[in-house]
Amino acid sequence: MKAVDIAELAKVSGVPASTLRFYEEKGLITSIGRRGLRRVFAPTVLDQLALIALGQTAGFSLTEIAAMFGADGAPRIRRELLAAKADELDRTIRRLSAMRDGLRHAARCTAPSHLECRTFRRLMRAASARRSWARDGRKPAP
């Protein structure tokens, strides 16, 4: 594939031109020149966009994703960063699984009121505690 202008890249990648310009502004991708008024990108930018999409799906911030590229735009991904994100995802999965299980229990609980259900009350306390941690800037327990 030859160099593509921003309109072609937006069409091929499915990433809006405004987002491509934003990514370039943030240093995530780099144009290699201009064709008239339009930015032109190397075909390797498609791999960069795929890596950006993967990083965002995994929950990395754009700043963290930008650090995954070398000055030449090639991926320079630290394995320990990936392991740390996987650990974080494990904690999130455990928390969400517990929440799902509690909600399923509450949905079929025979208590006259949800407020009389111990499991439902435990869910409410956990949600309140997480909100307090977020407000106070403290990290919740895993």
- Decide yes or no: CATH 3.40.50.10420 for domain 4-66: no
CA distance 52 to 38: 22
Task: Quick: pLDDT tens for 4-41.
Answer: 999 999 999 999 999 999 999 998 999 999 888 889 99
Task: Please report the pLDDT score of residue 99 as a whole number.
Answer: 85
Confidence band (pLDDT; 50, 70, 90) for 73?
A: confident
Confidence band (pLDDT; 50, 70, 90) for 121?
A: confident
Collapsing DSSP to helix, strand or coil, 38 comes out as strand
By mean pLDDT, which of 34-48, 61-75, 117-131 is the weakest?
117-131
Task: Please report the pLDDT score of residue 136 as a whole number.
Answer: 60
Residue 94, C-beta contacts closer than 8 angstroms, at least 6 positions apart:
142
Whether 139 has a pLDDT exceeding 70, the answer reads: no
DSSP state of 4: E
Mean pLDDT of the chain: 88
Q: For the whole model, what pTM was predicted? A: 0.74
**Tokens read off for 70:** 């070398």
Parse the chain into domains and list their residue ranges.
Answer: 4-66, 79-136
* Other beta carbons within 10 Å of 51: 17
Task: Quick: pLDDT tens for 76-99.
Answer: 999 999 999 999 999 999 989 988
Mean pLDDT for the stretch of residues 92-110: 89
CA distance 125 to 131: 10
Residues in the chain: 142
